[in-house]
């Protein structure tokens, strides 16, 4: 492999990479370094000029300083204006470097004009199965806020199949790239609908909670009346997830008494240590019950309830209530629910 002239390496290090420090989190110096490393690695498979690859990779996102939407074109313009490059490269070489930056956009459907553009585009794109699935769901939630969960599931499957499945429109420019192996892994998940649904459930739930936390905080911050807070929090959670039953039981002496809730009628009093609610209170910790029939002493307020989570509400080192959520499906709740719900009840 031809070595890169030290003056080119130092120029990249000292004059190009620092420009990335001002960009967004996904496009900082580490991103440029990753693209340089990967592009050089991929270039080993082709008869290309390594110095041109290094410069194109180092400069491919410089246009972000101007405009995110057209940054690839701006990068090309900036490259053509970099006088240093004229010391090391011919006019024709600078043109190829600039075009490689212009062609690197992952969303671009047209093929990069040269192998340089293909290498930079491929190095810039990281097909990480979990990230692809998460971004697909995030995009749906942001752009189709009125859609329900099943709608989001359908949209997620359709998008993944159209773009990433066998015969999908995504094309890898460099078959030797590690993206090829990761794309194969993603394809396996897309084919296995049960596996894909499991990832979807986990990501979807976390995204809804992330959206809900600041809302809950804003609603509860200005209200010091517990009952009012519990009423609104149960409504917020119930509407976001369409649980079977969402509500509070408040501590009163040696028992829990029904508080604000959403859903069907419920038992009004639960003794200390009884049922899932009384046990969570006695154990002083949240309890996740994947199957209520397997929980000894579970109190069935409704025969529809199949799984449940109970989270204690603390005030001044004491439990003053529990948040109880029931689902008509098995295994609805997990550590994600526990974590987010424990956080939410601290806002009361």
CB of 289 to ligand SME, least distance (A): 8
Binding mask 206-245 for ligand SME (x = CB under 6 A): ---------------------------------------x
Q: Which of 54, 308, 337, 344 binds ligand SME (CB under 6 A)?
A: 308
Alpha helices in the chain (DSSP H): 6-11, 29-43, 50-59, 71-81, 85-88, 91-102, 115-124, 129-143, 149-163, 178-191, 193-221, 226-241, 275-283, 335-345
Distance in angstroms (rounded) separating the CA atoms of residues 33 and 179:
18
61 binds ligand SME (CB under 6 A): no
The stretch near ligand SME (CB under 6 A) out of 35-43, 177-185, 190-198, 263-271 is: 263-271
Residue-wise DSSP of 86-123: HHHS-HHHHHHHHHHHHT--TT--SPPSSHHHHHHHHH
Distance in angstroms (rounded) separating the CA atoms of residues 180 and 15:
33
**CB-based contacts of 219, cutoff 8 Å, min separation 6:** 232, 233, 236
CB 244 within 8 A of CB 304: yes
298 binds ligand SME (CB under 6 A): yes
Residues in contact with ligand SME, counted by CB under 6 A, come to a total of: 14
275 binds ligand SME (CB under 6 A): yes
Q: Using the 8-state DSSP alphabet, how is residue 18 labeled?
A: G
Pairing of strands 245-252, 318-327: antiparallel
96 binds ligand SME (CB under 6 A): no
Q: Using the 8-state DSSP alphabet, how is residue 316 labeled?
A: T
Q: Which of 277, 313, 321, 348 binds ligand SME (CB under 6 A)?
A: 277
The stretch near ligand SME (CB under 6 A) out of 16-24, 32-40, 120-128, 274-282 is: 274-282
Binding mask 135-164 for ligand SME (x = CB under 6 A): ------------------------------
Nearest to ligand SME of 112, 278 (CB atom): 278
266 binds ligand SME (CB under 6 A): yes
The residue number whose beta carbon is nearest to ligand SME equals 275
Residue-wise DSSP of 38-50: HHHHHHTTS---H
Which phi-psi region, left, alpha or beta, contains residue 280 (left: φ > 0; alpha: ψ -120 to 50)? alpha
333 binds ligand SME (CB under 6 A): no
Which phi-psi region, left, alpha or beta, contains residue 305 (left: φ > 0; alpha: ψ -120 to 50)? beta
The stretch near ligand SME (CB under 6 A) out of 15-23, 205-213, 222-230, 273-281 is: 273-281
CB of 308 to ligand SME, least distance (A): 6
CB 62 within 8 A of CB 74: yes
Sheet with 318-327, side-by-side order of all strands: 269-271, 255-262, 245-252, 318-327, 307-315, 287-289
Q: Which of 102, 324, 333, 345 binds ligand SME (CB under 6 A)?
A: 324
Q: Which of 43, 156, 305, 307 binds ligand SME (CB under 6 A)?
A: 305
CB of 279 to ligand SME, least distance (A): 7
Residue 15 in tokens:
């004059």
Neighbours of 231 (CB within 10 A): 18
Nearest to ligand SME of 40, 236 (CB atom): 236
Nearest to ligand SME of 59, 313 (CB atom): 313
Q: Which of 326, 327, 340, 348 binds ligand SME (CB under 6 A)?
A: 326
Q: What are phi and psi of 323, to 5 degrees?
A: -95, 125
Q: Which of 270, 288, 321, 341 binds ligand SME (CB under 6 A)?
A: 270
276 binds ligand SME (CB under 6 A): yes
Site of interaction with ligand SME (CB under 6 A): 245, 266-267, 270, 275-277, 298-299, 301, 305, 308, 324, 326
């Amino acid at each position: 492999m031809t070595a890169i002239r030290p003056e080119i390496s130092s120029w990249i290090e000292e004059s190009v990479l620092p420009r990335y420090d001002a960009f967004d989190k996904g496009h900082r110096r580490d991103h440029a370094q990753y693209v340089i490393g990967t592009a050089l690695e991929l270039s080993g498979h082709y008869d290309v000029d390594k110095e041109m690859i290094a410069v194109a990779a180092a400069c491919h996102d410089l246009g972000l300083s101007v405009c995110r939407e057209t940054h690839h074109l701006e990068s090309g313009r900036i490259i053509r204006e970099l006088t240093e490059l004229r010391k090391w490269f011919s006019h024709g070489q600078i043109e190829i470097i600039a075009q490689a930056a212009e062609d690197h956009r992952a969303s671009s459907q047209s093929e990069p004009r040269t192998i340089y553009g293909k290498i930079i585009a491929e190095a810039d794109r990281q097909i990480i199965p979990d990230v692809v699935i998460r971004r697909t769901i995030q995009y749906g939630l942001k752009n189709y806020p009125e859609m329900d969960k099943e709608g989001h599931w359908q949209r997620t499957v359709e998008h993944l199949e159209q773009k990433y499945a066998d015969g999908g429109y995504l094309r890898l420019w460099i078959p030797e790239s590690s993206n090829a192996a990761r794309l194969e892994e993603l394809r396996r998940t897309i084919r296995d609908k049960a596996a894909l649904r499991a990832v979807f459930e986990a990501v979807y739930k976390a995204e809804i909670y992330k959206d809900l936390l600041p809302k809950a905080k804003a609603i509860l911050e200005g209200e010091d009346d517990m009952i009012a807070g519990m009423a609104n929090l149960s409504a917020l959670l119930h509407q976001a997830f369409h649980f079977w039953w969402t509500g509070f039981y408040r501590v009163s002496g040696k028992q829990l008494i029904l508080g604000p809730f959403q859903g069907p009628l419920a038992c009004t009093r639960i003794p200390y240590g009884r049922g899932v609610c009384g046990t969570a209170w006695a154990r002083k910790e949240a309890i996740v019950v994947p199957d209520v029939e397997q929980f000894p002493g579970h109190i069935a307020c409704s025969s529809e309830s199949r799984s449940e989570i109970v989270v204690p509400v603390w005030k001044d080192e004491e439990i003053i209530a529990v948040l109880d959520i029931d689902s008509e499906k098995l295994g609805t709740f997990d550590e994600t629910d526990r974590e987010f719900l424990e956080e939410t009840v601290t806002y009361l």
